[in-house]
């Protein structure tokens, strides 16, 4: 979900979220537990509509503290998250080196980077190190843009590189992570480089 609270996209997601407001606590808990069952053992794009729906439900459940009330049992494959005690559902993002894997229930760090097991941590480290300078192109200041000569071309090249790196995240890296977690979500876009989910094919 977008982080800028005033953006039109955020308002749209807020509107989508109204669909869940009529769910009572028990209905919400059961819907989430059942949907976690569908997620189990699989790799999911962040842009997947089912995941978008789940994230809206998760936000509401977090506000209502639904998981504390233990109204429905999540599938046994999901351990309790250390951050907010919701079932463990990690998201891999390009910020994995600094932020670790992100919780889909509270949006905080679910697991610190150094808690990710080897050897996948080493692969993630190399991947994040390759991604950082590519992503940085979107945020070059005027001087950096000028020194590049043709900034449009540099931007386009960076977007292409990001597509390739994101495909690697959704492919090889997510497959390595699913060995350790009940389900894995990967961020399949780079909004700063204008890379959309449909541009990324693992
Ligand atoms: Zn959490």
pLDDT at 110 over 70: yes
* pLDDT one-digit tens code per residue, 133-168: 999 999 999 999 999 999 999 999 999 999 999 999
pTM above 0.85, yes or no: yes
pLDDT at 96 over 80: yes
CA of 132 to the centre of ligand 1 (A): 25
CA of 108 to the centre of ligand 1 (A): 6
Averaged pLDDT for residues 27-36: 96
List of residues 6+ apart from 123 with CB closer than 8 A:
172, 173, 176
Looking at residue 68, its pLDDT comes to 87
CA of 78 to the centre of ligand 1 (A): 13
CA of 151 to the centre of ligand 1 (A): 39
* pLDDT one-digit tens code per residue, 146-155: 999 999 999 9
Higher pLDDT among residues 3 and 172, named by residue: 172
User: 46 with 195: CB under 8 angstroms?
Assistant: no
Looking at residue 6, its pLDDT comes to 76
* Beta bridge pairs of residue 102: 91, 109
Looking at residue 11, its pLDDT comes to 92
CA of 82 to the centre of ligand 1 (A): 7
Looking at residue 123, its pLDDT comes to 98
CA of 146 to the centre of ligand 1 (A): 42
Looking at residue 4, its pLDDT comes to 56
């Amino acid at each position: 979900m977008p982080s800028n609270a005033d953006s039109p996209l955020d308002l749209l997601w807020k509107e989508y979220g109204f669909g869940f407001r009529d769910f009572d606590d028990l209905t919400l808990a059961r819907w989430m537990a059942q949907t976690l069952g569908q997620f189990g053992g699989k790799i999911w794009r962040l842009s997947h509509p089912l995941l978008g729906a789940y994230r809206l439900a998760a936000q509401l459940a977090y506000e209502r503290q639904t998981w504390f009330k233990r109204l429905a049992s999540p599938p046994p494959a999901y351990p309790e998250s250390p951050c907010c005690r919701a079932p463990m559902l990690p998201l891999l993002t390009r910020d994995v080196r600094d932020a670790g894997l992100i919780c889909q229930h509270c949006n905080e760090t679910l697991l610190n980077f150094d808690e990710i097991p080897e050897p996948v941590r080493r692969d993630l480290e190399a991947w994040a190190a390759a991604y950082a300078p590519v992503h940085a192109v979107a945020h070059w200041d005027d001087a950096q843009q000028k020194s590049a000569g043709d900034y449009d071309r540099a931007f386009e090249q960076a977007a292409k590189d990001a597509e390739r790196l994101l495909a690697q995240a959704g492919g090889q890296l997510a497959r390595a992570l699913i060995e350790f977690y009940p389900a894995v979500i990967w961020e399949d876009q780079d909004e700063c480089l204008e890379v959309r989910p449909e541009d990324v094919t693992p």
